[in-house]
Amino acid sequence: MQLLLAVVSSGYAVGAALGWGSEELAEIMGDFGLSAAGLLAAVSCFTYARAIDSRERPAWLLFAFSSLMGCCGNAVWGWYEVVLGEAVPKPSLADFAFLCFAPPAIVGLLVLAKRPVTRAGWVCLGLDSWLIGGSLLTLSWSLALAHAARTAQSGAPGSVPRAALSLAYPLLDIALVSMVLVLHFRRSETNRSAVNTAIAALALTVLSDALFTSPLLSAEYQSGQLLDAGWFAGSLLLAYAPWGARRLHPGPDPVAHARAERPHSRPITGSLPALTPYLAAAVCTLGILYNVVDGRKVDRVVVFTGCTVVLALVIRQGIMLLDNIALTQELAQKENHFRSLVQGSSDVIMIAAPTGTLRYVSPAAAGVYGREAEELVGTELATLIHPEDLGRVVHEVRRFLAAPPAEEPTTRIECRFRSGGGEWLNVESTVNRHQGGLILNSRDVTERVRLQAQLQHSAEHDPLTDLPNRALFTRRVRQALTGRRAGDHSTAVLFIDLDGFKAVNDTIGHQAGDELLIEAARRLQDSVRAGDTAARLGGDEFAALILGDGSRDRSAREYQVHEIADRLRTTLSQPYRIAGSEVRVAASIGVAFADPGITPSDLMRNADLAMYRAKAGGKDRVEMYAPQMQAEVVRKAELAGRLRTALHDGEFALLHQPVVSLASGEISAVVAQARWRSAQGILFTPAEFLRVATYSEGGASEGEGGSTPRTAVPDASRTAELGRWLLEEAVGQAAERHRAGHDVPVAVRMTAQRLLDRSMPLGSVEALLTRNGLPSGALVLELAVSDPRVPFDDLERRLAALRRLGVLIALDGFGSGYAAISALRRLPVDMLKLDRGLVEGVVESPRLHKITAGLLRIANDLGMQSVAEGVDLPEQVMALRAMGCTHGQGMAFSGPLDEYRLRRALVRGTFPVPGGAAQPALAGGSPGGSMVIHRGSHNETPVPPA
């Protein structure tokens, strides 16, 4: 649009300069061409006024009316010159239309001007307008208007109307010029591009009018001359003003807005409004001087106008003086107010020049920095900042100054600042721009930084030992695997567990245990290298990160790390002096290396698996991770899942193995055992099913006449669930047999840990017996005590309560360790059950024969009945009976039986005993089991068949 406007205006100017080629075409273009341009401006302004809804609408409507008047005047002029071929009379309708051009434009400019908010503002607006208009009137009257006035006074025919027209045109132009200048200094900020373009269009029109009314051109003017190009361009520019501005600025431009808000130094433009009264007075003075030169008579109009201009100037200056006084007082009050705020603020306010030199420092610097404000003024800011922070601060300041102020008015910088005492303070500063420099609002945050550091340290370190905790250790491992050491696969992680630590807590107290952990942490920290990391993961578990040395020889690196781990094990296993006594614990250590592509969690898991393998292998040892360890964990998890499924789907069955009197062959009790029934109908023992679970409550057997080796339980909750199922099923089936007339006790094996478990309250056994109607003495609990750390006081109270319910207690696995002897000494036990290991070699080994005989004598001396588990051979029966053993359980009599075969055996009542006459009984099933007997006389009491 701008290019089209320039081309059309230039084309018209060139045509006018060349005379359009003919006088007739020149008149057409000079009259109807200008009329068309005025009509275009009128339509454009009117359309734009209807399209907007703001306080600017009346102004554009007035501009449309003003352009329409110009269009009509040129049309009338063309009617006379082109259509009628006559000279335009003076005055005529064209003059009336042209005279109506200026007033609407003047009012429109007043609408667009920024409205004063006070009465003094309105007075100043009027005074400024008269200063400009009066000075221009004085100069114009002296140059040309006085001649037109004298012509009107001459009394010649037609001179008055012509003189009036000659005076009206310049006077309206002077008024219009005054409004244009006033609006230039007081224009509104809204739609500035459109307003500026409209002002330029009206100014161009006024300039053309001024040239037309001047004595040099008014007598020789003809339509189509170059002067018409000014009016033509002014009309096109007014038509372009609203739409061109909207097209160039369709929406808010943030960049342009930011540039507009950026402060620029424009002293000349900013001073023009203040210089306007003086310029007006100067113009007025020139008019008066021109009027009196060469001895001319002073014109009264010039004198009167000059006096009014001077009076307006005096009034205007008086108002400005009063405003200045009020502003000075207000500025002084605000300055005092802000000085009080700055000087009383606890924050330090500093102003730095663009060179970095401090120009101002508030008095708070003495309390914050320990340095007087006068001492800091003139100092380079860079010399006060810690050298390690200086580069970061300079970079941030440069970035901030380069950013647009509208997008980032402030920034925040934190650095260390030198105090008067020489120490470094942590300072947080809010930075603002100030005349090319900076304003810094700073405060001392040293305590906050110190507190944050303490909180960070507490979040990442163990509160007892002050070693890194699991979170920090994991982050260090991640850094070792992903940082510059990412390709070094000789990095290793050690997991360390203190064996026997729980016994320290249980025996000498938790305070002593804490002291032991602190000492162990100190030893661990002293044993690792400076770049390595020692950590406490929780409880008595520690870890160490041994960074790699870049070695590519895996075997040599493994040997080196194994030596480090073994040295740690030896160091941690040294005696500890705690509370005046010597305490010993051992250390089990697992080692895993950072294989290619391994994640931190996998590396730590591998070290954890190796550590548990070290504990399972005998403790107080170092174990290197091997891939099969993870495969074994996966297999155990799968088997545990199969166990959960079997429990949920009811795939377990209950079998019973008889306990037989070695003297008569009579059945004295039955031992409940669980079996898993596969999809093919085959029964498996839990050990055959899992190969990993200790069947702690089931008394399971493995192989022909073999007992289950008891190992770690992968899912204690599922094992407890299986134990509850076994107890409930055994009691329920025993109650049914009692109602059928088979009064044979049932034995259920249970560990001491399970018996003390809170999930199995004392009342649950009583409620189970009552619900099923099982009489007193019909339930035997075979107690397995394999851990010497079992709290015997709690266990004794629990067993005593169970005996009051009529439950018999058998000590299982007697002769297999310290726990069995301690249990015999402290616990209320009704019978002893010999460990399978004693029975298996009792015939072949004279040494084992003597040990077994001695244990049986102990049982007889204590008045207890004895049961031998795993009696599979006739020779074992005869040997045990000769040593005084009263009962036996094993394949020499019968394997585990289902309910149907068990009842048939109970009906028969006896089994054949080697060396004595007895009727045959049913036998079969798989081996393994438990025992039982009646309380009372320790001589065997036969159980009659039903």
User: pLDDT (tens digit, 9 = 90+) per residue, 662-675?
Assistant: 988 999 999 999 88
Q: Collapse the DSSP code of 781 into the 3-class scheme (helix H, G, I; strand E, B; otherwise coil) and give the result.
A: strand
Q: What is the DSSP letter of 416?
A: E
Tell whether the model's pLDDT for residue 261 goes beyond 90. Answer: no
Q: State pTM to two decimals.
A: 0.49
Token pair recorded at residue 868: 């031998």
Q: Looking at residue 794, what is its pLDDT?
A: 83
Q: What is the mean pLDDT of residues 363-372?
A: 84
Bridge-partner residues for 497, per DSSP? 541, 588
The pLDDT value recorded for residue 928 is 35
Q: What is the DSSP letter of 143?
A: I
pLDDT mean over 916-943: 37
711: confidence class by pLDDT, cuts 50, 70, 90 = very low
Mean pLDDT on 503-515 = 87
Q: Is 530 helix (H, G, I), strand (E, B) or coil?
A: coil
- Return the amino acid letter for 60: W
Query: In this model, does residue 710 exceed pLDDT 50?
Result: no
pLDDT tens figures, 84-116: 888 877 777 877 777 787 777 777 777 776 666
Contacts of 362 (CB under 8 A, 6+ apart): 342, 343, 345, 347, 348, 349, 350, 373
CB 6 within 8 A of CB 237: no
Q: Which residues are within 8 A (CB) of 832 and not within 5 positions of it... i.e. 6 or more apart? A: 810, 811, 814, 824, 855, 859, 864, 865, 866, 867
Per-residue pLDDT for 142 more than 70?
Answer: no
pLDDT average, residue stretch 466-477? 92
With b for 16 or more beta-carbon neighbours within 10 A and e for fewer, the 275-307 pattern comes to ebbeebbebbbebbebbeeeeeeebebbeebbe
Q: What mean pLDDT is predicted for residues 889-918? A: 85
Q: 821-880: per-residue pLDDT in tens?
A: 777 888 888 899 988 888 888 888 889 889 889 889 988 888 889 999 999 999 999 999
For residue 559, pLDDT over 50 is answered with yes
Mean pLDDT within 168-177: 58
Please give the Cα distance from 200 to 598 (Å, whole number). 75
List, for residues 512-541, the tens digit of each pLDDT value.
Answer: 899 999 999 999 999 988 889 999 999 899
Helices (H), 537-599: 554-572
Average pLDDT over residues 748-772: 79
User: Across the chain, what does the average pLDDT equal?
Assistant: 77
Please report where in the chains the tokens 């000498």 appear, as a residue.
508
